[in-house]
Structure 1
């Protein structure tokens, strides 16, 4: 196959090719690095490319079978790491001028697991400062552009990872998700992003080890690749106190037995919390016909998400204070404006505000839990709008309704963050302008396997992996 075809080959197939010695890790890595050199300057998916380290690791991976070494589940498969996650010997900036030249001396736990499984780390992908926002730009590296239209945003905050996947700059991408940071860029770029239950993928290091809001997780071009990566990074670790043990083989088994027949699937639309662009809503609603043809029992329903605006604003403000208040005295002038506003909002919260938000969240959880006693899955658009202008931090209006700030338009993804439920974004079509649209499939408590089965069934009926953005000019 050509180098370009190799760059777009799924991770599951690369694993098989490497094990059968049809292609070597070094050949794969060289092909992807060459493509990064050609494509990345136009789109800015990678902010740091660790070519020499990757080639060294690939040479060792190529020699491993000759030594009789045991091969890991991702042996020889390239992966990108979001620039919020520490990587030993590779610059990690968090997209901030504060850490512009920071080089960690140890890997984050998720990177440890990827390397232990044989993955080849290619480098770091771009993110907004400290991951705050759904448009990927920062003062260190500038903006990352949408591969389907470079004048538009790729989403965020795992925007660089999504662009890398869409353009063949690696088959797997590590990312993170607070309010939609795996799912929104996946939707905007035509790939897969999976936010899992907090604790399923352990996080270390982190200043807030007990925090349930942000999770780390997988992005890929196919559901099977997403499940494969999840099988490597999931499971308990004593350094992550909310992590828990799980049979990681169930994730790959789920996509080998895709199923929608008999499942009770709710179409949630805008969940009663946000307007949705008319074209996006229509495309996602049409996708429900595929669920019906595959035997799902479809209904129009969603939980009462009352109180979500207050829950999100308070919890996000509290998180930003806990993570970044100490930076304000020295660095306020160089920090992203929306980030500073979030911190200032959090500093203005009273204990009673926080207590009320937590009570609202608990009440919401019980309403959602009751909903999933009657339904197996709920489906919505991933993002309320198609990709918007790269100059805009967030869409200023949807169907004529003004958006107050950069969180309000992302409530479709935040809805499942606040109750800790697994939600995946998969491609489901294109707008008339040729822009990808993502479908969000969410499940009940710790229902990752159900979500993966459904996503794999939808993918089999409406495949997307062969669809590629135009080559950058």
Structure 2
């Protein structure tokens, strides 16, 4: 029987064990396949398994170690790729009946980079149709369930990746984030996820090549592992017209070296978006933020309301959805309700709506410029609500107050997207029901190492453990 204890080790530990020849990539693969076989039928996180190609790659990875070849920072690690990200020779459905048998000929640039760092693509992970939704369910594969309570949602749209990592089906996974799609599943599943600064992780291939909205990022169980995967993903690429190189050499090196929060100025904001927040979530996040004083930071709770950006985001999101689905508009009536509603809303956005939205967006960015003159990091609840039933499409109210639309509950995340800022989610504690609570950590552009360094500290100070499955 495969040694399932390997699936509880960090990515860093596994890479070190492979490089020291204490274990082989095939042993790692078999251990994760055993967990997938045992747990995935209950949770439906993985929708396509590429076990045979992964085994061939694992054997080659083992041979490279024996030959003493130079190896990458993810050498021998199985990785899950979100099912909206193309993988050469491996089915990629976008969670849509229109593409249920689609097999790309080319890897996305993010996948190519993960492979170049030594990762082995083992699985495609579930997503709502074309990632349009904050609950991971689609008509091709059905719903993904939360590992802390299978009756609840893991959120979305990278829910499959988050569940697979949280349960040890995979050590690392890739996701994409436009509204909250890495951060919210990380929060709901008790793991770490980070949305990098736009341009750091190339989006190719994507219909909107100049888009700063959707980014690729890691989902992992620890902040150090997130930094390790991030290092593999980032870097200048001529295949992306908005590509930039990071101003830091290695996020992992900076996170490993970081020991405390001395000198950091941190602001805690309960409700960025003016939509309210569950009282218990707010209390847990505030307490965790304030505890960083013990690590040497100065922490202050402030009011910082950027709800003015909610309407501009809807206009921007609408145009984005139309651009993304331009080639599929003849099939609009075949889309599921979430995707169809998004595209139809986008078709109503006028040039004046967009101009008004961009003016508001610029004003808000200047407010953030002033904010980062005073503070190094912004901490706020990653989700304003607790995990909701998997049968529910989205939360409809907060503290008894009805929400205006199906995306309003993620406003605390999507307003950060609107500003092109990097942000991570880290577990901050657990509710009275024993469910993880995520804390969103927001930094200035290109401050990913600082975000993950604080996430590492928070994990050390407030461990939440692993889900019961």
TM bucket, shorter chain: over 0.9
Match of 2:329 in 1: 328
TM-score (structure 2 length as normaliser) = 0.97
What are the equivalent positions in structure 2 for 1:159-174 lying under 5 Å apart? 159-174=159-174
What are the equivalent positions in structure 2 for 1:281-296 lying under 5 Å apart? 281-296=282-297
**Structure-2 separation of matches of 1:424 and 1:297:** 20
**Structure-1 separation of matches of 2:46 and 2:162:** 10
Identify if the C-alpha distance between structure 1 residues 361 and 228 changes in structure 2 by more than 3 Å, giving closer, same or farther: same
- The 8 Å contact of residues 232 and 248 in structure 1, kept in 2 or not, is answered as no
Match of 1:394 in 2: 394
- The 8 Å contact of residues 209 and 241 in structure 2, kept in 1 or not, is answered as yes
Match of 1:305 in 2: 306
Identify if the C-alpha distance between structure 1 residues 2 and 51 changes in structure 2 by more than 3 Å, giving closer, same or farther: closer
Shift of 1:269: 0.6
Shift of 1:330: 2.8
**Structure-1 separation of matches of 2:212 and 2:274:** 22
Shift of 1:302: 4.5
Shift of 1:248: 5.6
**Structure-2 separation of matches of 1:12 and 1:249:** 18
**Structure-1 separation of matches of 2:311 and 2:273:** 15
**Structure-1 separation of matches of 2:273 and 2:186:** 23
**Structure-2 separation of matches of 1:302 and 1:278:** 16
- Post-superposition Cα deviations, 1:415-464, rounded to whole Å, max 9, x if no partner, equal 21111111110001111111111011111122112212211222222234
Structure 1, unpaired ranges of 5+:
none
**Is 443-452 or 234-243 further displaced after alignment?**
443-452
**Structure-2 separation of matches of 1:276 and 1:456:** 25
**Structure-1 separation of matches of 2:71 and 2:251:** 20
Does residue 216 of structure 1 match 2:216? yes
Match of 1:70 in 2: 70
Match of 2:134 in 1: 134
Match of 2:48 in 1: 48
Shift of 1:185: 0.3
What secondary structure sits across from 1:468 in the alignment?
A: coil
Instruction: Count matched residues.
Output: 468
What are the equivalent positions in structure 2 for 1:177-196 lying under 5 Å apart? 177-196=177-196
Shift of 1:328: 3.4
- Post-superposition Cα deviations, 1:95-148, rounded to whole Å, max 9, x if no partner, equal 000100000111110111111111111110000000011100000000000001
Does residue 91 of structure 1 match 2:88? no
What secondary structure sits across from 2:299 in the alignment?
A: strand
Match of 2:271 in 1: 270
Shift of 1:288: 1.8
What secondary structure sits across from 1:426 in the alignment?
A: strand
**Structure-2 separation of matches of 1:138 and 1:67:** 45
Shift of 1:66: 2.2
What secondary structure sits across from 2:143 in the alignment?
A: coil
What secondary structure sits across from 1:69 in the alignment?
A: coil
- The 8 Å contact of residues 62 and 76 in structure 2, kept in 1 or not, is answered as yes
What secondary structure sits across from 1:310 in the alignment?
A: helix
**Is 312-321 or 284-293 further displaced after alignment?**
284-293
Does residue 435 of structure 1 match 2:420? no
**Structure-1 separation of matches of 2:31 and 2:132:** 33
- The 8 Å contact of residues 332 and 340 in structure 2, kept in 1 or not, is answered as no
**Structure-2 separation of matches of 1:206 and 1:460:** 37
**Structure-1 separation of matches of 2:424 and 2:129:** 24
- The 8 Å contact of residues 15 and 74 in structure 1, kept in 2 or not, is answered as yes
Shift of 1:331: 4.5
Identify if the C-alpha distance between structure 1 residues 430 and 304 changes in structure 2 by more than 3 Å, giving closer, same or farther: closer
Cα RMSD after superposing both structures: 1.4
What secondary structure sits across from 1:145 in the alignment?
A: coil
**Structure-1 separation of matches of 2:2 and 2:261:** 36
**Structure-1 separation of matches of 2:205 and 2:118:** 21
**Structure-2 separation of matches of 1:329 and 1:203:** 25
Structure 2, unpaired ranges of 5+:
none
What secondary structure sits across from 1:428 in the alignment?
A: strand
**Structure-2 separation of matches of 1:55 and 1:331:** 39
- The 8 Å contact of residues 204 and 240 in structure 2, kept in 1 or not, is answered as yes
Identify if the C-alpha distance between structure 1 residues 306 and 31 changes in structure 2 by more than 3 Å, giving closer, same or farther: closer
- The 8 Å contact of residues 166 and 189 in structure 2, kept in 1 or not, is answered as yes
- Post-superposition Cα deviations, 1:45-85, rounded to whole Å, max 9, x if no partner, equal 00101011111111111111223322111111111100010
TM-score (structure 1 length as normaliser) = 0.97
Identify if the C-alpha distance between structure 1 residues 213 and 307 changes in structure 2 by more than 3 Å, giving closer, same or farther: same
- The 8 Å contact of residues 26 and 55 in structure 2, kept in 1 or not, is answered as yes
Give the 4+ runs in structure 1 shifted more than 4 A: none
Shift of 1:306: 4.1
